[in-house]
């Protein structure tokens, strides 16, 4: 494109004259030499080699139709069918009338009749053909995304609307394609790899659109739109599309989601159809496999809510609408439970929606990377809180923070955490890090490596929600962790169900084998607490002791504990 713009600014263009007749070549060459660089070939085969070699340089081919070896018709057909070479315009040299029509039909830009007369007419026709071809390339390139060759968003919607106007009776389906956690792919494997994935998807979509009719664009980054004539079979075709694209990408870490708005005969506009398809697509957030979802009306309000949370996030952070609550953890090893640490848990006080709990936020924010901002805010708050309590009460209460699976892919994670503890004058072991078990099974090598680095820097790692992921027993023995936190779903039925009790017993045994303490969360009753103590659990977190508390209330809890002078920290 750059080269083309420069050529348009006045650089000399190159023309290839292909004719077996030496005299004809010379006459034409003489006419054009003052304005163009001219090269020659005496038959189609030689010409094809030159064209392939100089394809970026050539502005025009002037082609005789009758030649030995490969004739002009064959070469012209070949050039028109080649993706890379078809941009070079061809003017044919003819001496009979019928040939002119025939060659225009197979894609010649113009023709020049033999024998040659009026050099100025010939020069004008040459100049005109080059200009037309160059303008059409520039239009093509501005309309299209450089990486994938699909339309840019603006042109896509412009042409789509025109299509709708011209064929008002033709129902159209809208499909939105998104890559799950694409920012992680980029961070983990680099932009270059990310781009090659986007290109593969773009090529596949191009193929689908060429086959089915319709249009497609790359809307932004990892987000594609496809506008296809309506098909009742779309639900059957989508798995085939997905299979084709997955095969080409050939990387099990990458999965796609397709949101579909299927034309229902209502006269909604193109933009609205794509809004609906996007909502359907968002419903699949957090999924690990490629899949699709059709839009339906109920989804609408839920998804609009999620969209609002995403768009309000930055403002909420700057206005400190997020608050960090602290839930105490108690050691139950001795006769009397003792406050041992706390877990920091986020709460969003949204001016319109009231308190939004992390359950509604985390997977939403993990999907678009916003979780990194939120987590960093929470880590800073938690570290500052430890420092503040230390100054006020003279004790350093360790606080655990949740570290999302997405944070684990940040190559600066260790540095960021080190800075936070340093700024607050804390030892790294006081800021405990909770990493959910399923993160380990997602990408075990990467996580284990990062966890290794964190531990080497003195951070302590607690494996959160243990039992909810799919760690193999074998993998567990090699995991670098400092504590196991049992998933709370085992606890609710522990007193009523003997099998659950046995299972929790086994998990505690596993922790013994790994030589790490066991923390149980979600403990709500005295019976549960006593049973867990009997089974050998070390630390308990749950409503039985306390709900997550705002910092001031947690402070009161510390004071009470200090009065009893029974603290197990320091
Ligand atoms: P988690 O880390 O496993 O946190 C424990 C969750 O259990 C908390 O829910 C807590 O309020 C709740 N809980 C504690 N005791 C009991 C109990 O006795 N009974 C019941 N039913 N629930 C109890 P919460 O605060 O809603 O957080 C949910 C999840 O969201 C957390 O699970 C954690 O994975 C995630 N999360 C919370 N804050 C953050 C954060 O700042 N960053 C990240 N990445 N994740 C967070
Ligand atoms: Mg946790
Ligand atoms: Mg947990």
Ligand nearest the Cα atom of residue 362: 1
Whether residue 16 is found in the same domain as residue 45: yes
Ligand nearest the Cα atom of residue 382: 1
Would you say 547 and 327 are in contact if contact means Cβ atoms under 8 Å apart? yes
> In angstroms, what is the span from residue 437 Cα to ligand 3's centroid?
9
Tokens 């225009």 identify what position?
104
What is the per-residue burial (b if ≥16 Cβ within 10 Å, else e) of 169-195?
A: eeebbbbbbbbbbbbbbbbeeeeeebe
Question: 261 pLDDT exceeds 90?
Answer: yes
Distances from the Cα of 563 to the Cαs of 3, 81, 398, 556, in angstroms?
79, 87, 19, 11
Whether residue 90 is found in the same domain as residue 182: no
Ligand 1 contacts CB of residue 357 (under 6 A)? yes
> In angstroms, what is the span from residue 90 Cα to ligand 1's centroid?
69
Would you say 455 and 480 are in contact if contact means Cβ atoms under 8 Å apart? yes
- Which of 270, 295, 320 corresponds to the end of one domain? 295
Output the pLDDT for position 300. Answer: 75
Ligand 1 contacts CB of residue 362 (under 6 A)? yes
More confident residue, 564 or 354: 354
Ligand 1 pocket, mutate which of 343, 347, 362, 520 (most atoms under 8 A from CB): 362
> In angstroms, what is the span from residue 178 Cα to ligand 3's centroid?
29
Residue with the smallest CA separation from ligand 1 atom 17 is 522
For residue 301, say if its preceding peptide bond is cis, omega within 30 degrees of 0.
Answer: no
Whether residue 394 is found in the same domain as residue 494: yes
Ligand 1 contacts CB of residue 88 (under 6 A)? no
Domain that holds residue 474: 305-569
Question: 314 pLDDT exceeds 80?
Answer: yes
- How many angstroms separate the CA atoms of 269 and 227, rounded? 12
Output the pLDDT for position 22. Answer: 93
Whether residue 291 is found in the same domain as residue 309: no
Closest CA to 533 of 523, 543, 562, 22: 523
More confident residue, 458 or 104: 458
> In angstroms, what is the span from residue 404 Cα to ligand 2's centroid?
10
Beta strands in 396-516 (DSSP E): 399-402, 431-436, 461-466, 483-486
Confidence of residue 163 (pLDDT cuts 50, 70, 90): confident
Ligand 1 pocket, mutate which of 521, 525, 548 (most atoms under 8 A from CB): 521
Ligand 1 contacts CB of residue 115 (under 6 A)? no
Q: Poorest-confidence range of 211-225, 279-293, 365-379?
A: 279-293
Output the pLDDT for position 290. Answer: 77
- Assigned domain for 421 exists: yes
Would you say 256 and 185 are in contact if contact means Cβ atoms under 8 Å apart? no
Ligand nearest the Cα atom of residue 469: 3
Would you say 282 and 303 are in contact if contact means Cβ atoms under 8 Å apart? yes
Whether residue 131 is found in the same domain as residue 165: no
Q: Poorest-confidence range of 31-40, 267-276, 456-465?
A: 267-276
Ligand 1 contacts CB of residue 464 (under 6 A)? yes
> In angstroms, what is the span from residue 345 Cα to ligand 1's centroid?
6
- Assigned domain for 238 exists: yes
- Assigned domain for 279 exists: yes
Going by their DSSP bridges, the two strands 431-436 and 461-466 should be labelled as parallel
Output the pLDDT for position 566. Answer: 55
Whether residue 316 is found in the same domain as residue 284: no
- How many angstroms separate the CA atoms of 86 and 128, rounded? 17
* Domains identified in the chain, total number: 3
By residue count, the chain amounts to 570
Average of per-residue pLDDT across 528-549: 96
Q: Poorest-confidence range of 45-49, 111-115, 276-280, 282-286?
A: 282-286
> In angstroms, what is the span from residue 559 Cα to ligand 2's centroid?
25
Output the pLDDT for position 478. Answer: 75
Please give the number of the atom of ligand 1 that sits closest to the Cα of 345. 38
pTM of the model: 0.63
- The CB density around residue 57, as the number of other CB atoms within 10 Å, is 16
Q: What is the CATH classification number for the domain harbouring 52?
A: 3.40.50.2300
Interval 12-38: pLDDT, tens? 789 999 999 999 999 999 999 989 999
SS3 473: helix
Interval 333-369: pLDDT, tens? 998 999 999 999 999 999 999 999 898 899 889 888 8
Would you say 272 and 172 are in contact if contact means Cβ atoms under 8 Å apart? no
Output the pLDDT for position 521. Answer: 95
Going by their DSSP bridges, the two strands 223-229 and 215-220 should be labelled as antiparallel
Whether residue 408 is found in the same domain as residue 554: yes
Would you say 561 and 545 are in contact if contact means Cβ atoms under 8 Å apart? no
Question: 160 pLDDT exceeds 80?
Answer: yes
- Assigned domain for 332 exists: yes
> In angstroms, what is the span from residue 434 Cα to ligand 3's centroid?
8
- How many angstroms separate the CA atoms of 315 and 402, rounded? 22
- How many angstroms separate the CA atoms of 226 and 190, rounded? 27
Ligand 1 pocket, mutate which of 363, 402, 491 (most atoms under 8 A from CB): 402
Q: Which two tokens stand for residue 528?
A: 């549960």
Please give the number of the atom of ligand 1 that sits closest to the Cα of 366. 44
Question: 7 pLDDT exceeds 60?
Answer: no
Going by their DSSP bridges, the two strands 14-18 and 58-64 should be labelled as parallel
Please say whether the dihedral angle defined by the alpha carbons of residues 271, 273, 279 and 280, taken in this order, is positive or negative: negative
Output the pLDDT for position 3. Answer: 53
Ligand 1 contacts CB of residue 462 (under 6 A)? no
Whether residue 444 is found in the same domain as residue 525: yes
Whether residue 35 is found in the same domain as residue 82: yes
Distances from the Cα of 486 to the Cαs of 160, 491, 500, in angstroms?
53, 8, 12
Tokens 């779903």 identify what position?
489
Would you say 377 and 433 are in contact if contact means Cβ atoms under 8 Å apart? no
- How many angstroms separate the CA atoms of 393 and 426, rounded? 15
- Which of 114, 143, 172 corresponds to the end of one domain? 143
For 152, left (φ over 0), alpha (ψ -120 to 50), or beta?
beta
Residue with the smallest CA separation from ligand 1 atom 4 is 345
Ligand 1 contacts CB of residue 528 (under 6 A)? no
Output the pLDDT for position 376. Answer: 97
Q: H or E element: which one contains 365? A: helix 358-368
Whether residue 458 is found in the same domain as residue 341: yes
Ligand 1 contacts CB of residue 358 (under 6 A)? yes
- Which of 261, 295, 329 corresponds to the end of one domain? 295
Residue with the smallest CA separation from ligand 1 atom 22 is 522
Output the pLDDT for position 173. Answer: 95
Q: What is the CATH classification number for the domain harbouring 185?
A: 3.30.70.270
Ligand 1 contacts CB of residue 382 (under 6 A)? no
Helix, strand, coil: what percent of the chain each, to 5? 50, 20, 30
Residue with the smallest CA separation from ligand 1 atom 35 is 358
406 CB-contact burial (10 Å; exposed 0-12 / middle 13-18 / buried 19+)? buried
User: Which of 125-134, 215-224, 426-435, 479-488 has the highest average model confidence (pLDDT)?
Assistant: 426-435
Residue 340 phi/psi, 5-degree rounding, is -115, -30
Average of per-residue pLDDT across 482-509: 92
> In angstroms, what is the span from residue 418 Cα to ligand 2's centroid?
20
Output the pLDDT for position 106. Answer: 81
SS3 190: coil
> In angstroms, what is the span from residue 369 Cα to ligand 1's centroid?
19
- Assigned domain for 300 exists: no
Question: 288 pLDDT exceeds 80?
Answer: no
Q: Note residues around ion ligand 3 (Cβ under 5 angstroms).
A: 464-465
Would you say 435 and 451 are in contact if contact means Cβ atoms under 8 Å apart? yes
Mean pLDDT of the chain: 89
- Assigned domain for 388 exists: yes
- Assigned domain for 148 exists: no
User: Which of 3-17, 86-100, 190-204 has the highest average model confidence (pLDDT)?
Assistant: 190-204
Question: 298 pLDDT exceeds 80?
Answer: no
Output the pLDDT for position 2. Answer: 52
Tokens 């979600």 identify what position?
522
Q: DSSP letter for 148, please.
A: T
More confident residue, 563 or 347: 347
Ligand 1 contacts CB of residue 228 (under 6 A)? no
Ligand nearest the Cα atom of residue 466: 3
Going by their DSSP bridges, the two strands 90-94 and 539-541 should be labelled as unpaired
Whether residue 110 is found in the same domain as residue 206: no
Q: H or E element: which one contains 147? A: none
Please give the number of the atom of ligand 1 that sits closest to the Cα of 485. 3
- Assigned domain for 451 exists: yes
Residue with the smallest CA separation from ligand 1 atom 7 is 522
Average of per-residue pLDDT across 485-503: 91
Distances from the Cα of 278 to the Cαs of 224, 261, 325, 497, in angstroms?
10, 9, 34, 44
- How many angstroms separate the CA atoms of 150 and 206, rounded? 7
Q: H or E element: which one contains 341? A: strand 338-350
Output the pLDDT for position 565. Answer: 67
Ligand 1 contacts CB of residue 407 (under 6 A)? no
Whether residue 388 is found in the same domain as residue 359: yes
């Amino acid at each position: 494109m750059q080269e083309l713009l420069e050529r348009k600014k006045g650089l000399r263009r190159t023309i290839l004259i292909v004719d077996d007749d030496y005299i004809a070549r010379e006459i034409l060459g003489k006419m054009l030499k003052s304005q163009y660089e001219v090269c020659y070939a005496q038959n189609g085969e030689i010409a094809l080699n030159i064209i392939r070699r100089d394809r970026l340089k050539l502005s025009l081919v002037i082609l005789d139709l009758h030649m030995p070896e490969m004739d002009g018709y064959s070469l012209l057909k070949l050039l028109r069918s080649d993706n890379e070479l078809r941009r070079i315009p061809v003017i044919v040299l003819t001496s009979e009338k019928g040939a002119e029509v025939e060659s225009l039909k197979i894609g010649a830009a113009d023709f020049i009749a033999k024998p040659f007369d009026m050099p100025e007419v010939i020069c004008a026709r040459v100049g005109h053909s080059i200009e037309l071809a160059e303008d059409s390339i520039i239009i093509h390139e501005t309309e299209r995304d450089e990486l994938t060759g699909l339309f840019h968003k603006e042109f896509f919607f412009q042409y789509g609307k025109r299509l709708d106007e011209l064929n008002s009776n033709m129902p159209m389906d809208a499909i939105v394609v998104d890559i799950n956690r694409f920012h992680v792919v980029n961070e983990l494997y680099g932009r270059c790899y990310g781009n090659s994935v986007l290109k593969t998807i773009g090529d596949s979509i191009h193929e689908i659109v060429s086959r089915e009719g319709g249009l497609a664009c790359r809307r932004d980054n990892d987000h594609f739109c496809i506008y296809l004539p309506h098909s009742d079979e779309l639900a059957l075709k989508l798995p085939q599309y997905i299979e084709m694209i997955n095969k080409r990408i050939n990387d099990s870490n990458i999965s796609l989601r397709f949101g579909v708005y299927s034309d229902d005969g209502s006269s909604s506009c193109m933009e609205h159809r794509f809004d609906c398809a996007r909502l359907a697509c968002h419903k699949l957030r957090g999924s690990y496999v490629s899949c699709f979802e059709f839009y339906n009306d109920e989804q609408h309000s839920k998804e609009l809510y999620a969209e609002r949370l995403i768009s309000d996030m930055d403002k909420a952070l700057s206005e400190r609408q997020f608050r960090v609550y602290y839930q105490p953890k108690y050691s139950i090893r001795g006769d009397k439970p003792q406050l041992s640490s706390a877990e920091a848990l986020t709460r969003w006080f949204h001016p319109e929606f009231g308190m939004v709990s992390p359950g509604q936020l985390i997977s939403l924010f993990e999907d678009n990377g916003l979780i990194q901002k939120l987590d960093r805010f929470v880590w800073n708050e938690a570290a500052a809180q430890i420092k503040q309590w230390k100054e006020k009460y003279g004790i350093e209460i360790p606080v655990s923070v949740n570290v999302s699976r997405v944070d684990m892919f940040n190559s600066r994670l260790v540095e960021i955490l080190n800075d936070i503890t340093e700024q607050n004058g804390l030892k790294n072991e006081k800021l405990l890090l909770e990493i959910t078990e399923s993160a380990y099974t997602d990408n075990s090598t990467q996580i284990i490596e990062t966890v290794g680095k964190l531990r080497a820097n003195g951070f302590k790692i607690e494996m959160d929600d243990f039992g909810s992921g799919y760690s193999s027993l074998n993998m567990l023995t090699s995991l670098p962790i400092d504590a196991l936190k049992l998933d709370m779903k085992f606890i609710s039925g522990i007193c009523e169900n003997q099998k659950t009790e046995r299972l929790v017993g086994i998990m505690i045994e596993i922790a013994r084998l790994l030589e790490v303490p066991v923390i149980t969360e979600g403990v709500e009753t005295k019976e549960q607490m006593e049973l867990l103590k009997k089974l050998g659990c070390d630390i308990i977190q749950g409503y039985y002791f306390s709900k997550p508390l705002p910092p001031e209330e947690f402070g009161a809890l510390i004071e009470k504990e200090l009065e009893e002078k029974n603290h197990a920290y320091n």
